[in-house]
């Protein structure tokens, strides 16, 4: 299994660490020759997770997409959602024929308002059976520190997803497998929006008591949307039958749904929470983006979900209010007051 990683940001660097720590040789498509030269010479990414050192003998660094694809069987796409189409520029359906794509993208493609698998189907006639996802809860910074984390791998065929997941198991990474390709992606998109809401409240001075109520209601709102789009494992406390000593079957309380929502709303490493906190403190959206120097997926996601929900018709007052605060000029004070009035 020849793995490759597309992207050289924080999450891509963390994934490269996980695989090479397991002794795997990987292809790595980085943004430019300067980055490639630095990694080859110094053994670390010059911009992101600079404390992570690599055995460069396990890295083949690329800057040309087509050559990288030719030499890669399992391509992990780990760029921000807004840059995915650029990362795939120049490729044709023949380049992806017979390949496996593993999405580590934690957002919706904003230009197309589509999940990555749907874009790949439309653009490259790429089959869903060859598409897999890697989702958290798993902050790159904790991977860098080798603090125990969990990754969920989803694919239409559980056995193939398990085969991929097994390559990521290390002393600090546990893996979980499910078949909910659509649900895990929508959950990852929504939790970023709710983390922005949590951050806005934090920046405005709201305390832990309010946050607990807000996030509880976000969890309920997210479950409602997932049910509306056809995801069925949304019941907490109910699992399918299992044999003794086996794990429970995943449900909404599993790490990839509720767990990822919680850590993204609460963690100091959450860029969406940080972005929201800056907006709550009075930064404009544009100045917060510039100051962060990293992409907060919840910003574009709020607009995409607002648009998608016109068809889904889920009850989403929190997500809608975040959209209006970020995109329509609704003031933070009025937006939070509106959210307050919806909470139960």
Q: Where are the domains of the chain?
A: 3-179, 183-340
Average pLDDT over residues 309-338: 97
b/e sequence 19-56, b meaning 16+ C-beta within 10 Å = bbbeeeebbbbbbeeebbebbeeeebbebbbeebebee
Q: What pLDDT digit, counting tens, does each position of 261-285 carry?
A: 999 999 999 999 999 999 999 999 9
Q: Are 48 and 13 in contact (CB under 8 A)?
A: yes
Q: Are 325 and 276 in contact (CB under 8 A)?
A: no
Q: Give the pLDDT band (50/70/90) at residue 320.
A: very high
Report the pLDDT value the prediction gives residue 230, as an integer from 0 to 100.
87
Q: Give the pLDDT band (50/70/90) at residue 290.
A: confident
Report the pLDDT value the prediction gives residue 302, as an integer from 0 to 100.
96
Report the pLDDT value the prediction gives residue 243, as an integer from 0 to 100.
64
Q: What is the DSSP letter of 81?
A: G
Average pLDDT over residues 93-111: 94
The pair of structure tokens assigned to 241 is 């039958």
**CATH fold group of domain 3-179:** Rossmann fold (3.40.50)
Q: What is 240-257 written as a DSSP string? A: ----TTPPPPP-TTSIII
**pTM of the shown model:** 0.93
CATH classification (class only), 183-340: mainly alpha
Report the pLDDT value the prediction gives residue 245, as an integer from 0 to 100.
60
b/e sequence 198-231, b meaning 16+ C-beta within 10 Å = bbbbbbbebeeebbeebbebbbebbbebbbbeeb
Q: Which residues pair with 75 in a beta bridge?
A: 4, 101
**What is the residue-averaged pLDDT of the chain?**
93
Pair type for strands 131-135 and 149-155 = antiparallel
Average pLDDT over residues 120-133: 97
């Amino acid at each position: 299994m020849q793995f490759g990683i597309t992207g050289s940001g924080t999450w891509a660097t963390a994934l490269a660490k996980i695989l090479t720590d397991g002794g795997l040789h990987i292809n790595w498509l980085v943004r430019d020759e300067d980055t490639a030269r630095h990694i080859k010479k110094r053994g670390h990414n010059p911009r992101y997770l600079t404390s992570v050192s690599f055995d460069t003998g396990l890295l083949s660094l690329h800057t040309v997409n087509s050559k990288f694809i030719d030499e890669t069987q399992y391509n992990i796409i780990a760029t921000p959602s807004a840059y995915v189409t650029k990362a795939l520029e120049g490729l044709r359906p023949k380049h992806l024929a017979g390949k496996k794509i593993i999405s580590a993208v934690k957002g919706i493609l904003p230009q197309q308002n589509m999940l990555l698998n749907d874009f790949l189907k439309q653009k490259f006639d790429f089959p869903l059976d060859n598409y897999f996802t890697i989702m958290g809860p798993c902050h790159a910074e904790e991977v860098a520190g080798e603090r125990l984390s969990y990754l969920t791998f989803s694919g239409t065929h559980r056995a193939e997803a398990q085969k991929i997941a097994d390559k990521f198991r290390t002393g600090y990474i546990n893996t979980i497998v499910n078949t909910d390709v659509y649900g895990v992606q929508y959950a990852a998109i929504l939790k970023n929006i709710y983390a922005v809401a949590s951050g806005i409240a934090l920046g405005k001075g709201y305390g832990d008591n309010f946050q607990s109520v807000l996030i509880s209601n976000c969890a309920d709102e997210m479950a409602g949307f997932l049910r509306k789009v056809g995801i069925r494992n949304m019941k907490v406390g109910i699992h399918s039958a299992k044999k003794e000593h086996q794990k429970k079957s995943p449900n909404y309380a599993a790490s990839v749904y509720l767990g990822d929502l919680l850590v993204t709303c609460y963690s100091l490493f959450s860029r969406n929470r940080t972005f929201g906190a800056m907006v709550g403190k009075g930064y404009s959206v544009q100045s917060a983006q510039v100051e962060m120097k990293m992409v907060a997926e919840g910003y574009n996601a709020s607009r995409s979900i607002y648009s998608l929900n016109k068809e889904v018709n889920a009850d989403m007052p929190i997500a809608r209010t975040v959209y209006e605060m970020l995109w329509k000029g609704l003031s933070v004070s009025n937006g939070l007051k509106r959210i307050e009035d919806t909470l139960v």
